[in-house]
A = this chain, B = another copy of it.
Amino acid sequence: MKDRDGIVGHFTLPAQKGMDDTVKMLCEKWGVDAIRDSDGTKLSDTIMNLGYDVYSTICLIRADQEWANANPEQCQQKYLMSFPLTCVDDAKLKIKILKGYSHEQFRIDEQHDPKKYWEVIDRTTGDVVDPQYWHYLEKDREVVVDHPVRWHVYTVNFLVYQIWESTSMYNYITNNWTGAHHKGIDPRLPETREHLLEFLDQWLKSHPNTDVVRFTSLFYQFPLIKNEARENMFLDWCGFMDPMSALAMDEFEQEMGYRLHSEDIVDMGYYNAAYRIPSKEFRDWIDFVQRFVRSYAQQCVDLVHAAGKKALFFFCDHWIGTEPYRAGFEEIGFDGVAGPCLSGVELRRISDVPGDSFKEIRLYPYFFPVNLQDEPVFVEDGDPVQECKKWWKGIRRALLRRCIDRIGFGGYLELAAQYPQFLDYVEHLADEFRTVLARTKKTMPHSVSKKVALLDVWGWSRAWMHNDNWPEGHIPECLSGLQADVTFISFDDIRQRGIDADIGVIINWGIANSAWSGGQNWIDEDVVVKLRQWIYNGGGFIGIEEPTAHEYQGRFFQLSDVLGVQKEVGNTLCWSKNFRPELSKAHYILADSGDEIDLGVTESQVYLSSETAELLAGTPEDVLLSTNTFGKGRSVYMADYKHNGENTRLFFRAVLWVGQMENEIMTWLSSNPHTDSAYYPEVKQFVVMNNSDEHQQTTVYNGTGKATQVSLAPMEMLWFKLEEINQRCS
């Protein structure tokens, strides 16, 4: 193994059968200390005997296809809603319920009594049709409604078996796999539950060389629903559709004392996606699923431990029911948590998982021909170095805030091996990562003095679960690398225990009536009273997009008194918007910004509604950025947020200003917004790094506010001991 000043390892290589020499070469070059089989590949004995830790991947619910094929009624199930159909004549209404959905992926459940488990709903009135007035015709796969109301719209909530497991389907389609479609079976069914424990026991015995069992992952995937053209139709990374089954409906009733309606899960076809405000019934369903998943996962982990191996949880794919940020996750007993990582949010999603388990990220690009966006990577016209670097930039920023233990890659090694420049870049990247680990010793960096809390419906239970491809991911991405302790709170937290004393800034963001913005929570007097009191007494509040929004009693933004702005949603068109201050160009928040503030939108229909509000960007009737005061507290409104270096700095300044921590900025700061810095007091290490592909000059400030100039090559990371940086700072 190459000498790297004592820093090697912490790297998991996806090995591949028939590439033993490449594997050996890369183990040396990349400082690998663990190798693993990828999903769908098996390693040679030669590789297994190289002396490295061996990770073996297992996806229990599709591991024994022979058994699954012999027991198709053990497949996982799901509620689907037929697409709305308008009744246009007086005849019986015939609804081809699976129309539009992939027939390769789903088969209508004809085992369980439709009258018990399905619902036909008149979507014009919202009424559930009495089961005596409809029936299911197996031969035509149709629901027939006997006396439909002409011109009303009907849907059917029905159970399906998922006959092609989602990840398997993805791999087949992406990599042109052939052969039988893999099925996923449901451990809630007693036969499957028993079979899988036996299978795992056998599997452990037949894998004597395996050190780490990599569960990839547990039992229920987030929903990924395809149409007949095999295109994604619905994808919710936090969705709770897949643990459903006829048995789950019955067991839920036994356990909870009331029966769910299919509509509680189907949610009018919105499928309770993460941005939807959950009902009590849906929250109960989440809890019910989690109790089962954790209990059964614990049995599996116990088996692994009994075999003298470690258990690693791949925090993706079949992760539903685990929810690492909800109390109780640690009891499952995983030794490690690994996850794919495209961003700072995804880094923090892994690194912040509570507990002592080791944390590993799987970097991108996946060694597949194309990336998740179907763009070329390991094929002609592909540029795997760029593809790697663009994600690493964001990840590295968050890494400085909370480090993980290991990195790795996935996919087909043979693809990567053809790109020597990529192999060199990964060597560099791995060393960079191990330097962070070695220098920081995973200690926590300096943060500003008050905590920053993101307020939404989910709070800590879905910390860092935001989809960074969506608009709501930009704020968490910004926070993932900010020099601040970040926490996540829910409206229920505020109701139940108020606002923790260490929190100095609360952020609320997102579109009106979403789980992010909060919807009807904003007309709960308990919530608004506690927040107003907290802000009035000195708290800081940042509202982004449609914060505190729910139309009620003459207000759309319920905390317009705090924010000093209101949104025109069509109720105040006759009102002139009379507060017309000059632009406050010299505000603290704007000190590092240029003349043009680009937060991602040019219009907001948000107007100033208070004479104390200051306008920082936009116009009085199209506010893009504004501030206000409320008692001793402060607030900032932003029409949107687009993540980049300039806006990160602007946002950081907004945090400091509302949190009344303005004086803390010149502490361990790197002035150039295209750079980042961090100081680790426990180990007395300081780092400054360039997030861009250009050379950057920056002024860095030490802990006493003294400064020095630093010059950084593209993407360069510079480390200083405390005495070194203090010496340089004049």
Chain B residues lying within 8 Å of A234, measured Cβ to Cβ, are 574-576
Given the known interface contacts A84-B554, A233-B576, A233-B578, the answer about A570 and B151 at a Cβ–Cβ threshold of 8 Å is no
CA distance A573 to B571 in the complex (A): 26
The residues of B that contact A126 with a CB separation of less than 8 Å are 552-553
Chain B residues closer than 8 Å to A552, beta-carbon distance: 126
Shortest CB-to-CB span from A266 to chain B, Å, is 9
* Interface stretch of the complex, out of A254-262, A271-279, A456-464: A271-279
Contact A125 B525 (CB under 8 A): yes
Contact assessment for B578 and A231 in the assembled complex, using a CB-CB cutoff below 8 Å: yes
Chain B residue nearest in CB terms to A126: B553
B511/A151 in contact, CB under 8 A:
no
Chain A window 136-155, contacts with chain B (Cβ cutoff 8 Å), 1 for yes, 0 for no:
00000000000001111101
The distance in angstroms between the C-alpha atoms of A470 and B575, with both chains bound, is 13
Confirm or deny: A711 has a beta carbon within 8 angstroms of a beta carbon on chain B.
no
Contact across chains for A555 and B123 when beta carbons are under 8 A apart: yes
Cβ contact within 8 Å between A86 and B561: yes
A538 at the binding interface (Cβ < 8 Å) = no
A51 contacts the other chain (CB 8 A): no
By beta carbon, the residue of chain B nearest A232 is B576
* CB under 8 Å from chain B, chain A span 532-547: 532-533, 536
Q: Please measure, in the bound complex, the distance between the C-alpha atom of A251 and the C-alpha atom of B570, giving whole angstroms.
A: 33
* Interchain CB contact under 8 A, A84 and B555: yes
| Max chain B Cβ within 10 angstroms of own Cβ: one of A151, A271, A514, A570 | A570
A534 nearest CB neighbor, chain B only: B151
- Distance between A418 CB and nearest chain B CB, rounded to angstroms: 33
Choose one: B123, B276, B553; the contact of A553 (CB below 8 Å).
Answer: B123
Interface 1/0s, chain A 233-247, versus B by CB < 8 A? Answer: 111100100000000
- Across the two chains, which residue of chain B brings its CB closest to A515? B570
Give complex CA distance A155, B554 in Å.
Answer: 10
Q: Interface residues of A toward B: which range? A: 35 or more
The answer to whether A438 has its CB under 8 Å from any CB of chain B is no
* Residues of chain A from 552 to 603 with CB closer than 8 A to chain B in the complex: 552-555, 561, 569-576, 578
A470 partner residues in chain B, CB cutoff 8 A: 573
Tell me if B233 and A88 are in contact (CB < 8 A). no
Q: Mark A509-535, 1 if CB is under 8 A from B, else 0.
A: 001111000000000010011101100
CB distance from A508 to the nearest CB of B (A): 15
Neighbouring B residues of A124 by C-beta, 8 Å: 525, 528-529, 553
Q: Are B554 and A123 in contact (CB under 8 A)?
A: yes
Q: Which residues of B have CB within 8 Å of A574?
A: 234-236, 239, 271, 273-275
Q: Are A269 and B554 in contact (CB under 8 A)?
A: yes
State the Cβ distance, A338 to closest chain B Cβ, in Å: 25
Task: Report A337 CB to chain B, min CB distance, Å.
Answer: 25
The verdict on A631 contacting chain B, using a C-beta distance below 8 Å, is yes
Q: How far is the CA of A639 from the CA of B529 in the complex (A)?
A: 40
Q: Is the interface of A mostly helix, strand, loop or mixed?
A: loop
Assembly CA distance A475 to B713 (angstroms):
58
Assess whether A177 is interfacial by the CB under 8 Å rule: no
A487 at the interface (CB under 8 A from B): no
Nearest residue, chain B, Cβ from A580: B231
The proximity string for A residues 654-695 relative to B, scoring 1 for CB distances below 8 Å and 0 otherwise, is 000000000000000000000000000000000000000000
Once bound together, how far apart are the Cα atoms of A273 and B631, in whole Å? Answer: 33
Do the beta carbons of A276 and B233 come within 8 Å of each other?
Answer: no
Q: Does A499 contact B (CB under 8 A)?
A: no
Q: For the complex, give the distance between the alpha carbons of A86 and B574 in Å.
A: 24
CA distance A273 to B235 in the complex (A): 42
CA distance A155 to B232 in the complex (A): 50
- Shortest Cβ gap from A128 to chain B (Å): 12
Establish whether residues A150 and B533, one from each chain, have CB atoms under 8 Å apart when the complex forms.
Answer: yes
Task: Say yes or no: is A133 at the interface (Cβ < 8 Å to chain B).
Answer: no
Q: Are B150 and A270 in contact (CB under 8 A)?
A: no
A152-B525 Cα distance, complex, nearest whole Å: 8
Whether A168 sits at the interface, judged by CB under 8 Å, is: no
Complexed CA–CA distance, A347 and B263 (Å): 53
B573 touches A275 (CB 8 A): yes
Tell me whether A715 is interfacial, beta carbon within 8 Å. Answer: no
Complex CA–CA separation, A232 to B513 (angstroms): 33
Q: How far is the CB of A616 from chain B (nearest CB, A)?
A: 23
Cα distance A487–B597 in the bound complex, in angstroms: 47
> Closest approach, in angstroms, between the C-beta of A475 and any C-beta of chain B?
16
Closest residue of chain B to A510 (Cβ to Cβ) is B570
Q: Which residues on B sit within 8 Å (CB–CB) of A275?
A: 570-571, 573-574
Question: Cβ of A227 < 8 Å from any Cβ of B?
Answer: yes
CA distance A271 to B271 in the complex (A): 38
In the bound complex, what is the Cα–Cα distance between A234 and B631 (angstroms)? 29
A286 part of interface (Cβ distance < 8 Å): no
Contact A631 B88 (CB under 8 A): yes
Judge if A268 is at the interface, Cβ distance under 8 Å.
Answer: yes
CA distance A570 to B124 in the complex (A): 21
Q: Which of A88, A470, A569 has the most CB of B within 10 A?
A: A88
A150 to B536, CA, bound (A): 11
- How far apart are A155's CB and chain B's nearest CB, in angstroms? 8
CB closest chain-B residue, reference A532: B151
In the complex, the answer to whether A233 meets B575 with C-beta atoms within 8 Å is yes
How far does the Cβ of A513 sit from chain B's closest Cβ, in whole Å?
7
Residue in chain B with minimal CB distance to A153: B561
Given A273-B573, A525-B152, A573-B273: A88 in contact with B536 (beta carbons within 8 A): yes
Residues of B within 8 Å of A570, CB to CB, are: 275, 511-514
CB distance from A531 to the nearest CB of B (A): 8
Complex CA gap A660/B225 in Å reads: 39
List of B residues within 8 angstroms of A239 by Cβ: 574
A552 — nearest CB in chain B belongs to which residue?
A: B126
Residues of A participating in the B interface, judged by any CB pair closer than 8 Å: 81, 84, 86, 88, 121, 123-126, 149-153, 155, 227, 229, 231-236, 239, 268-271, 273-276, 470, 511-514, 525, 528-530, 532-533, 536, 552-555, 561, 569-576, 578, 631
- What are 29 A-B contacts with C-beta separation under 8 Å? A84-B555, A86-B561, A123-B555, A124-B528, A124-B553, A150-B529, A151-B528, A151-B529, A151-B530, A151-B532, A151-B533, A151-B536, A152-B525, A153-B555, A227-B578, A231-B576, A231-B578, A234-B574, A235-B576, A239-B574, A270-B571, A270-B572, A273-B573, A273-B574, A275-B570, A470-B573, A511-B569, A513-B570, A514-B570
What are the 7 tightest A-B residue pairs by CB atom distance, in nearest-first order?
A268-B554, A151-B532, A151-B529, A123-B553, A273-B574, A236-B574, A511-B570
Additional A-B contact list (19), CB under 8 Å, known A84-B555, A123-B555, A151-B528: A84-B554, A86-B532, A88-B631, A124-B525, A125-B525, A149-B525, A149-B529, A151-B533, A152-B529, A153-B561, A231-B576, A232-B576, A234-B576, A236-B574, A271-B574, A275-B573, A275-B574, A276-B571, A514-B570
